[in-house]
């Protein structure tokens, strides 16, 4: 497995393998868990060459957020990437990506002013910018992103369409712990008590799934139900529990088509997000 710390070296590597077949890119911030590995394994199945980037992107963190303390373990990450059959890891420093005088940003409008965009101003601008740079540096045929970050996935799909980027975006289902908690590098912030409390997010989402399966179609009722469930957990402070139409994240008055049910909350030092996607057609709705 090749380890590249500079833009020039990953470009050289990709150039040397380009004619062998499709190149897959898995962008990450490292501190790998099974969710990251699921993306790498899917890329391994579909691509001749798999590139993983590890970069804790400073411009997607707000001033009071956890950029400095974000968990990092490069040795372990490289070991896991090697085991997953990754061909190259791109692991640049911040100055390689944002040299002195850096001034260009990518903004996806509208999709980013709700859900996480509301409480994290500038976050998706940072994400769209770094993903654009990674696409331009690696030039992948296919890029892999987790459905766990549902709004991020929609923002990237929209950016790729709007800017005619020649890359296919693949979304990978959320990988969970046995008790339902969505895997996240930030779960490491949780104390044992907070870790137990954190499962309330998934329990609330499951309750929505059950109500919808029984015929409930009112988003206001379902949102209220999630809020009540999450507010019963004193260690968890709800940020939002909302339901939107996919893919454009428009509000809806009755559940129909493709629907995103998304929650975010604080639990101790961790900000946790989770979601489920419901396809009303496949539930027998016309
Ligand atoms: P991160 O390192 O947290 O920025 O995540 C890198 C990629 O892995 C993103 O596309 C995430 O959506 C994806 N990811 C993170 N957690 C999970 C999970 N539990 N299941 C599936 N994908 C995930």
Q: What is the CATH number of the domain that holds 88?
A: 3.40.50.620
Q: pLDDT by residue (tens digit) across 53-105?
A: 999 999 999 999 999 999 999 999 999 999 999 999 999 999 999 999 999 99
**Average pLDDT across the chain, whole number:** 97
**Residue of the CA atom closest to atom 7 of ligand 1:** 28
Ligand 1 centre from 286 Cα, in Å?
A: 33
Supply the pLDDT for residue 165: 98
20 with 129, same domain: the answer is yes
Ligand 1 atom closest to Cα of 31? 2
Ligand 1 centre from 148 Cα, in Å?
A: 6
Ligand 1 atom closest to Cα of 174? 20
Residue 90 CB contacts under 8 Å (≥ 6 apart), including other chains? 4, 10, 51, 52, 53, 54, 55, 134, 137, 138
Residue range(s) defining the domain that contains residue 35: 2-172
Residue 247, pLDDT above cutoff 90: yes
103 with 148, same domain: the answer is yes
158 with 79, same domain: the answer is yes
**Residue of the CA atom closest to atom 18 of ligand 1:** 35
Domain boundary among 147, 172, 197: 172
Ligand 1 centre from 268 Cα, in Å?
A: 21
Q: Choose which residue among 27, 32, 34, 36 to substitute to test ligand 1 binding: the one with the highest number of ligand atoms within 8 A of its C-beta.
A: 36
Ligand 1 centre from 220 Cα, in Å?
A: 29
Residue 285, pLDDT above cutoff 80: no
For residue 240, being part of any structural domain is answered with: yes
For residue 283, being part of any structural domain is answered with: no
Reference 116, options 151, 66, 155, 64; nearest CA is: 151
Catalytic, 79? Answer no
**Residue of the CA atom closest to atom 22 of ligand 1:** 146
Supply the pLDDT for residue 284: 67
100 with 241, same domain: the answer is no
103 with 164, same domain: the answer is yes
16 with 127, same domain: the answer is yes
Q: pLDDT by residue (tens digit) across 12-57?
A: 999 999 999 999 999 999 999 999 999 999 999 999 999 999 999 9
For residue 180, being part of any structural domain is answered with: no
Calculate what percentage of the chain has a pLDDT beyond 70. 99
**Residue of the CA atom closest to atom 10 of ligand 1:** 145
**Residue of the CA atom closest to atom 12 of ligand 1:** 146
Which of 33, 36, 79, 123 is catalytic? The answer is 36
9 with 112, same domain: the answer is yes
Q: pLDDT by residue (tens digit) across 200-238?
A: 999 999 999 999 999 999 999 999 999 999 999 999 999
Structural domains in the chain (count): 2
For residue 17, being part of any structural domain is answered with: yes
For residue 265, being part of any structural domain is answered with: yes
Supply the pLDDT for residue 105: 98
For residue 194, being part of any structural domain is answered with: yes
Supply the pLDDT for residue 282: 87
* 127: its two tokens: 């994400």
Ligand 1 centre from 285 Cα, in Å?
A: 31
Confidence of residue 283 (pLDDT cuts 50, 70, 90): confident
Reference 6, options 107, 90, 120, 98; nearest CA is: 90
**Residue of the CA atom closest to atom 6 of ligand 1:** 28
Confidence of residue 245 (pLDDT cuts 50, 70, 90): very high
Domain boundary among 112, 139, 172: 172
For residue 64, being part of any structural domain is answered with: yes
Ligand 1 atom closest to Cα of 29? 2
For residue 98, being part of any structural domain is answered with: yes
216 with 164, same domain: the answer is no
pTM above 0.75, yes or no: yes
Pocket of ligand 1 (CB under 6 A): 28-29, 35-36, 38-39, 145-146, 148-149, 172, 174-175, 182-185
168 with 190, same domain: the answer is no
20 with 157, same domain: the answer is yes
Domain boundary among 142, 172, 202: 172
């Amino acid at each position: 497995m090749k380890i590249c710390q500079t833009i020039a070296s990953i470009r050289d590597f990709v150039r040397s393998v380009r004619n062998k077949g499709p190149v897959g890119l898995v962008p990450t911030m490292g501190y790998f868990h099974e969710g990251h590995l699921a993306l790498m394994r899917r890329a391994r199945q579909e691509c001749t060459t798999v590139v993983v980037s590890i970069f804790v992107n400073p411009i997607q963190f707000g001033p009071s957020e956890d950029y400095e303390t974000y968990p990092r373990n490069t040795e372990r990450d490289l070991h896991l990437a090697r085991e997953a059959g990754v061909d190259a890891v791109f692991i640049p420093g911040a100055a390689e990506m944002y040299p002195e005088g850096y001034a260009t940003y990518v903004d996806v409008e509208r999709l980013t002013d709700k859900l996480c965009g509301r409480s994290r101003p500038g976050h998706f601008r940072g994400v769209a910018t770094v993903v654009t740079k990674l696409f331009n540096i690696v030039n992948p045929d296919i890029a892999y992103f987790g459905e766990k970050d549902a709004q991020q996935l929609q923002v990237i799909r929209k950016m790729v369409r709007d800017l005619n980027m020649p890359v296919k975006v693949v979304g990978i289902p959320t990988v969970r712990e046995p008790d339902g908690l969505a895997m996240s590098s930030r779960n490491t912030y949780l104390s044992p008590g907070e870790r137990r409390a954190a499962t309330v997010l998934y329990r609330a989402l499951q309750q929505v799934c059950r109500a919808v399966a029984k015929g409930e179609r009112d988003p206001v009722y379902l949102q209220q139900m999630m809020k009540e469930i999450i507010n019963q957990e004193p260690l968890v402070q709800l940020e939002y529990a909302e339901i939107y139409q996919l893919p454009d994240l428009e509000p809806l008055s009755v559940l129909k088509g493709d629907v995103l049910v998304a929650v975010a909350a604080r639990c101790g030092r961790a900000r946790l997000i989770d979601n489920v996607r419901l396809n009303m057609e496949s539930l027998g709705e016309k």
